[in-house]
Structure formats: C-alpha cells, structure tokens
Structure 1
Amino acid sequence: MADSNPLERGDRALGSRQLAAMLPDLAGARPAYRHLAEAISALILDGRIALHVRLPAERELAIVLNTSRATITAVYDLLRERGFAHSRQGSGTWTDLQEGRGTTGVTRLLGPEDIAIDLARAAPGLPGQALADALATVAPHLSEHANTPGYHPYGLPDLRAAVAERFSRRGLATVPEQILVTSGAQHAFTLVLALLCRPGDRVMAENPSYPNALDAMRRARLRTVSVPVTDTGWDIEIIESTLRQAVPRLAYLIPDFHNPTGCLMPQQERARLLRAAQRSGTWLVVDETLAELALDVPAPPPLASHATPRGSGQIITIGSMSKTHWAGLRIGWLRAPARLVTELAGQRVATDMGGSVLDQLLALTLLARAGELVPPRLEHLREQRAALAAALNEHLPDWTWRPPPGGLSLWVDLGEPIASALAERALDYGVRIEGGAYFATDPGIFEQRLRIPYTMPPDTLREAVRRMATALADGPSPSPASRRPHWVA
C-alpha cells in the first residue's frame, strides 16, 4: 500500500498523501513554508511521525499540496535548521530530533523531572487524608467484589446511580441508564468521536480550546470549524451562523469556566445555542469538567437542562473528577440518551473491558463526601488565584487578564507575541508553562497569551511568577519561536 503506516514499512518512508492528510488546513497562512514546517515539527514532537523516517520527495509533496517546489524546499531547509530533519546525500530528507527535545507521546506525559515548578497542568491534588479515609471506607466493599469477574463496561451500578443523582440534583433529570462511567472525560470524548464521526467530518470547536480534545479531533482526521472565545466570551451569532452554514456533525464546547479563558456562557446564550444545534442536527458534546469550580458565582446548571424534549436527544454531557478531586483517579462519565450509552459501551469493550473497580469504589465514596470536600477546595483556589494575580501585578505589571469567575487558570495577555519563546526560556529558570498557541485550533495564533494555572500553593505561584519575570528580563527580548509543548492538562 502506497501510504501505509511508516512504522510498519521496511523502507521507513512517509508517503506524500499520508503526510498531506496529517497536516491541518493552512489556507491563507503566511508565510506558507513556515507554517508547514511548524506543522510537521509538531507532528514529529507529538510522535505521529516517527523518527528516522524518509520524508516525501520535494516535487512529489509539492504536487500533492498544490504548492511550488520552492515552498517545499524552504520547508525542508527550515526543518533541517531547527533540528527536525537531516539529509543524506542521494537518499533524501529524514526526520530527526535535535538534542534536548523529546516527543509528546505517552513517555513524555510527566514532563521533565528536573522542573521544580510545573504550570503546564491545571490539575489540583487530593489531600492525603481524604484519600486515606476513602481507601479505608472502600476496603470492605472491594473484598465483596473480589469474587466477581470485575468487568463493568457501563460502570459500577452504584456509581452510575450516584452520577445520575448528581445530574438530577443540578436540575437535569437523569436515570442510571443514561450514564456511562469512563476512564476520564478524555476517554469519554474519544469514544464519542469514534462512534459518531468519520474521517473528513466537520466538527465545531471553540478557539482557543482544550488541547487534548483538539488533538483527539486531529487524530480522528476530522475537519475543525472554529468559533472564537474572547475575553468577553462567545459570539453567539457566529456560532449560530457556523452551525447553519457548516452543518458540523458534532460540536465540542466548554461553556462552564471555559478552558483556557475561564469564561462562563450566559444562560440566554445557552438556549440560543441549543436551538441552533437542533436546527442543524449537530451533536453537542458539552464538557463539564470544570462546572463545579465556581469561585465567584453559583455553580451553573447543566447546559442540557435548557433543551427542549425534542432537542435533548443529541446532547452528550461529559465530566470527570480530575479537576474537582484528583486526576490520578481516572474516573469520568458521560450522560447521553440510553440507546446511545448502549452503543458507546459496545464501542468501549473493543478496547477497554471496563474501568478499575477500586477506582470506581473510591469515586463513589468521594462523591458522597463532595459537600464536605469541594467547598474547602474552592476556598483554596480563591486564595491561590488572588496570590497569582498579586504576584503578576507586582512582577509583570504590563501583563493583563480578566479575573475568571471560576475554573483553574488565568488567560494572560503578554502584550506581544512572545509566549512560546518565553516558555522555552522559562525552562532554564525552573518553570514549565505552555504558550497560548497550544490551545489554538489554527496555527500561529495566541502567541501573545499564556495560560497560568492557580492550582499550586501561594508561595509556589509567587516564586513561579518571579522566575518568569527574571527570564523575561534577562538577555534580549524573546522572539516568537516554533515550540511544541510536552503535555498539557
């Protein structure tokens, strides 16, 4: 096969059509050669293009991409200059990785071990005593399950009932048959994409958005149609127009303390969104991972609670315990029509027979204690947010942001497009952080933004800001650079 997986081919060559299918739509991007080089660099760092693989011949790739050979020559020159490729006399151009870089696959999830302050992941930890108490509570129940096969593709019945009751308590009547327990919200989302979408389908996504969800869409080879989220929120007229004109198969939205901007979608806009999606026949996937992290306003009801009976059949709500409790628990869920839950459970069995019984029992215990555990967490987040804001005002007064009413991070405007270069330099000062470009649906934007989580203790946040200010002040001003993050949560 001409364009089979390069990892399976003896000659380790990447076909031109295969490479073209992996590249995002760069229509209008200027200069084209630079954006193409950055896209290929990102694929190498992400592990989607293997190392030591021969890239397509320049003329062949130029024809497939409908561009000039001079453009592809410039792309390959830039890849070689940046250490992502090297040439062998008479045998083409091969992928490479410059010293000090690493791929962003599974082996890079934890990031560099020597980074003292990691601001790339907006994920708070679980107090040790709470975990110890929960473990003590579930131990007797675990022994009861030990004599069973332990496979629960839908999730433990008691946990499904608890999650359903949680939705009902928040204003969206739900029965356990509408719940599928998953290994996190990301797992839920990938199951939905695999069942409902096919390569080439249009999907609507916010810009910026959660990068792991965007990556899941790219890996599924979906065509992303973006709608903007600014400091002031969503333009509902643009969303309505996009749904009407593009008629996407699916839309992925984070209306509750949006990641990374922190915006909260107003109730009247939610109703308009639901009506527009119903008219276009678009499946809505609503990510509620951050919905309970309301710091300055009441926690919002589920978006699906605004739907009419006719429009509720194409809404899927996903959530998890990663942000409210602990990401290490790997417990998430989705709420959908019972028929779809059955289909998704069948989809899940093909790759995952069911989640850990121990984790689900822990989740059940922690959810029962949510009224006790979540309020102190919210108070700590308020204190940490205030400490981060004060440190930024003191050390980096030219940076601006809007205080979010909830969530876990600030979406900071640096005033100039230096975010990736500054993030690269900050590594040398013991701070790992990701520039705004990683949250973009399209290449080359949000270079003036940083997402800065306030999930660490106040003293740690103050020290991180001091180090970033030092990194910015030392040496010449950073210029925009091509950089792909290791991993973001």
Structure 2
Amino acid sequence: MFENQMSARALEARLGEWRDGGSAYRALSDRIRLLTLDGRIPTDSRLPAERDLSARLGVSRTTVTAAYRRLRDAGFLVSVRGSGSVARLPGVPAAHVGPAAGGILDFSKATMPALAGLPDAAQAAVGDLPGHLGGSGFDPVGIPELRAAIADRYRARGLATDPEQIMVTIGAQHAIALLARVLVGRGDRVLIEMPTYPHAYEALTAAGARLVPVSVSAAVPGEDPATAGWDETALVQTLRRSNPVLGYLMPDFHNPTGRTMPVGQRERVLAAAARQGTVLVVDETIAELDIDRAGEFAPFPAYAEPGQPGDVVAIGSVGKTVWGGLRVGWIRAERPLIRRLVAARSANDLGTPILEQLIVVRLLAEMPAILEGRRTELRVGRDHLERLLAARFPDWQVPHVDGGITAWVNLGLPVSSQLALAARNHGLLVPAGPRFGLDGAFERFLRIPFCYSTDEMDLAVDALGLAWDSLLRHPVPDTGYLADVV
C-alpha cells in the first residue's frame, strides 16, 4: 500500500497549463517529470489510472499511455503489480557537484555550507555528554542548558523570554508540523503568504487546513521598494473576514522574495490578528541573516501591545545559520501552549537528540561572531549573483535584497517549469516558481539562492544560460498564464 495515491483531479491541479503546442504526450510526460523533480509529486506516489487521467484532462487514453511509457523509459515511473504506476526518481543527485564533473549541481536547497567551527564544537560537546547519561535520553522539551541559551538569545535581541517558554524541536520543519497538528483542525482556515515556504503549506495541508493566501511581492528594480512586500489591506481583510485559526508568516527576509515587513506593519498585523483571536506562527529561521538592512528589528512577538489578547508563536533553528544537518530548532510560545505541544509530541517522536542539543548550546554562545561571518559570505554571494544575472540575462528582473539567502527572479515569461526542466538537462537542479505557490502559480518566477560559492554560482548561471537559450530557440507564447495568481 502506498501512502500517496494521487487522484486524477489532484494531478490535474498540479499540472497547470501543461500543453505547449507540440506533441501532447511529450508535454504531459515533461510536466510530470518536472513535478517529480520539484517534489510536487512525492516519490512513491501512485499516479492516476490512464483511463481516469485521460478523462480528466480531455485527451485520448493513448496520449496518457505514451506519456507514462516515456516516463518509465526515463526512470521516473515504475509499474508495481496491483498498484499501478508509481512515481520514482531515477537516482539521488549528489549535492555541490558541478556539471563539468558529470554530476548535478543542486540549487534546490537554500542553505549555507557547514560552519567551519562545527567539528570543534561537536568534539567539545562530547565532553558535556556524560552529565546527561544518567537519564533516559528521551527529551521532548529540551535540555535546560539549551532552553536557557535560547531564551538568553531572545532577550539579547529585545524580547523578554523565560526558558519555560521554549520547546526544542528537531529543526524548524518539525516545529511547523507539530504546531499545525496541535492548532489546526480539519477544515480550519489558515492564512498563508504567497509565495511561501513549500514545506510549510504541505504541513498545514496535511493537518487538514483550508489555506487562505495573501500576496507578498518582490521589489522591482527602478520602482519604489516600499510598494513591494505584503499586501496589508488584503492581509487585514483576510484576518477579519476569514477569521483563520492560524496565520503562518515569514516577516524577515521572506522566503523566497527576500522582503522584510516594516515595523509599523508588524504592529498593525499583530493588532488585527489579536482582534480575531488568530494565532500567528512566525518563522524566524532566516531573521538574523541580514546583510545591510537599515534599522533594528526585534523578534516579531516584541511588537505586540502589552496585554494584547491572542498568541504569537516564534520558530527558530540553526539550520540556516550553522548547518542544515544539525537538526535542532525551537518554538517560543506561552507556557500553556508549550505544555500542549509537549503532550502531543510523543505521538510522532520522543525528543531531540541530546548530543546535538549540547553542540547548539556551545554555538549559541558564539552566535554574534557566527552571524558576522555569515553576513560577509552572503554579501559576497548576493553581489556576485546580481552581477552574473545582469550580464547574462539583462531582461530578467532581479530584485535587490538586503538579507536572506535567495533572489526571487522575474523571468518575464511564464516558463519557469520549462526552464527548470531544461536546466536539469544541463546539470542544474533548481525549483520552478510554482513550487512556492498553489495550483501552478508563479510560472514567471525562479528562486535562485546566493548562499553557494562563487564558483558554484558561475556554474549554475552557465547552466541556466544554456537552458534559457534552448527555450528561446522554441519561443513560448506569452499567454499571461498565472502571472500574478495568488
């Protein structure tokens, strides 16, 4: 039995406008292949029966049969007796391997390389481990040393916090999924930004949420940056009219647009959420990765009015600042919610590994210096990527960001999925714009991280250039499809 059994209706929604004027079966197989590479069709998902999909798409069964056969030949589909056609990846690409070496350069993950001092911190933490070996090792809330260190970090950034307001998790994604499971009931409305972090809307959807999107736009070169960002009118109206139980926001260096929510807007959004009793879950995993942002920004909950009703929950982790392989994150919330989360956690896991927590205790003490080094790396990467894209793609709109790790590039044509698929053929794995939206939105956009080395970015832009040239040789009509759909 396969967990993911995709209906014809669900696959049709993911396919979007897949027809390109050429061979129908090739176009269909190419789009399914892209969706699989992009993660929008999870591996091991059972695809719809050929008869069901042909009826849903309004094409002949022969077309679907030929498309599935082409996918099987390429290793993206296998036939399992009694289970039909199952999506697969032909191989797992090796990250950080350049195309010239015959491998895949993986730009699908916006994450920095491991911190240089991480091995030393790990070795030192081993010396702290004997003090914790007398217990069971199952730690659903977090060791006292780490909860205190995280609380200290919040206080240093301007938000009074006690260790009892902290729960340690297995990374930020685990925190999002746990909060969704505890706070969201099936059919509940949840406000979410569009575009957004894909794994967030997947966790919320898995909890049964009905997503209510609000747009966040990138800055356009030559225009007033103040016009970009959150559509505040729509956001406040959505809170009032939809009365969502939860809202998921990334107010600092939003992924993928890179925008930061102004202080005044934070205060108004918090007040609007409090009036409706909406719990705001604020993802701050990238919040401290500023490069040259003007002004001082405290953690988001600090902007709430004293005594204001409603809850604001903050999520953090060391996945972006230290290393993605160090799976330690946290939730900052009021004590009653922390107790609910601890009680609910054991249904899925029994706690965060002790040794990894001890490593993070040592690293948090050095966080100011760590952040300064990361900001220097990101400044070099951002400036280098902007120069590369301006030289190679003068018609693309590349917004200048003052922090974060990604650029949300407007291609000018609704071809992001085709470009991502073509780039894969030239050795680059990059997620298409619709990966960050719902129902095929953002075909004009491509997320490009600048947290990689300059050599890797050179290779990535070369691969994009080859892929773009291959698309231009076969012009795509600009239908305006999903250009600004939210």
Question: Which of the five TM-score ranges fits, normalised by the shorter chain?
Answer: 0.7 to 0.9
Note the alpha carbon deviations across 1:200-244, whole angstroms, 9 max, x for none. 111111000001111112222321110000121011111011111
Q: 2:46 matched to 1:82?
A: no
Tell me if structure 2 keeps the 8 A contact 1:255–1:286. Answer: yes
Match of 1:328 in 2: 325
Match of 1:427 in 2: 424
Note the alpha carbon deviations across 1:357-398, whole angstroms, 9 max, x for none. 110000011111112221011111101111111111111221
Aligned counterparts of 1:375 and 1:421: Cα–Cα separation in 2:
38
- Residue among 136, 145, 152 paired with 1:165: 152
Aligned counterparts of 1:394 and 1:54: Cα–Cα separation in 2:
44
Note the alpha carbon deviations across 1:52-73, whole angstroms, 9 max, x for none. 6764974xx9xxxxxxx95454
Match of 1:95 in 2: 85
- Residue among 443, 450, 453 paired with 1:447: 443
TM-score when normalising by structure 1:
0.81
Deviates more, 1:42-51 or 1:411-420: 42-51
Aligned counterparts of 1:93 and 1:412: Cα–Cα separation in 2:
40
Distance change in 2, residues 1:473/1:174 (3 Å): same
Aligned counterparts of 2:317 and 2:93: Cα–Cα separation in 1:
19
Aligned counterparts of 2:206 and 2:113: Cα–Cα separation in 1:
29
Matched to 2:392, the amino acid is H
Percent identity over the alignment? 36
Note the alpha carbon deviations across 1:156-176, whole angstroms, 9 max, x for none. 111001111111121111101
Q: 2:459 matched to 1:463?
A: yes
Aligned counterparts of 2:48 and 2:128: Cα–Cα separation in 1:
55
Tell me if structure 1 keeps the 8 A contact 2:50–2:65. Answer: no
Give how far 1:461 is off: 1.0
Tell me if structure 2 keeps the 8 A contact 1:413–1:449. Answer: yes
> Residue 264 of structure 1: SS of its match in structure 2?
coil
Aligned counterparts of 1:315 and 1:24: Cα–Cα separation in 2:
37
Aligned counterparts of 1:361 and 1:468: Cα–Cα separation in 2:
41
Match of 1:283 in 2: 279
Give how far 1:75 is off: 8.9
Note the alpha carbon deviations across 1:29-48, whole angstroms, 9 max, x for none. 8899x9x9979995896566
Match of 1:3 in 2: none
Matched ranges for 1:202-351 at <5 A? 202-231=189-218, 232-297=228-293, 298=295, 300-311=297-308, 313-351=310-348
TM-score when normalising by structure 2:
0.82
Tell me if structure 1 keeps the 8 A contact 2:111–2:324. Answer: yes
Note the alpha carbon deviations across 1:316-346, whole angstroms, 9 max, x for none. 1101111111111011001111011011011
Match of 1:356 in 2: 353
- Alignment length, in residue pairs? 445
Runs of 5+ consecutive residues of structure 1 not aligned to the other structure: 1-5, 62-68, 482-489
Tell me if structure 2 keeps the 8 A contact 1:50–1:95. Answer: no
Q: 2:112 matched to 1:124?
A: yes
Tell me if structure 1 keeps the 8 A contact 2:36–2:89. Answer: no
Distance change in 2, residues 1:478/1:452 (3 Å): farther
Aligned counterparts of 2:9 and 2:424: Cα–Cα separation in 1:
33
Tell me if structure 2 keeps the 8 A contact 1:178–1:337. Answer: yes
Distance change in 2, residues 1:451/1:214 (3 Å): same
Match of 2:382 in 1: 385
Match of 1:65 in 2: none
Matched to 2:105, the amino acid is I
Deviates more, 1:303-312 or 1:342-351: 303-312
Aligned counterparts of 1:252 and 1:236: Cα–Cα separation in 2:
15
Aligned counterparts of 2:66 and 2:322: Cα–Cα separation in 1:
44
Tell me if structure 1 keeps the 8 A contact 2:9–2:56. Answer: no
Give how far 1:112 is off: 10
Match of 1:369 in 2: 366
Distance change in 2, residues 1:322/1:77 (3 Å): farther
Give how far 1:136 is off: 3.0
Distance change in 2, residues 1:146/1:76 (3 Å): farther
Aligned counterparts of 2:263 and 2:127: Cα–Cα separation in 1:
44
- Residue among 125, 130, 134 paired with 1:147: 134
Matched to 1:328, the amino acid is G
Aligned counterparts of 1:181 and 1:93: Cα–Cα separation in 2:
40
> Residue 59 of structure 2: SS of its match in structure 1?
helix
Distance change in 2, residues 1:275/1:479 (3 Å): farther
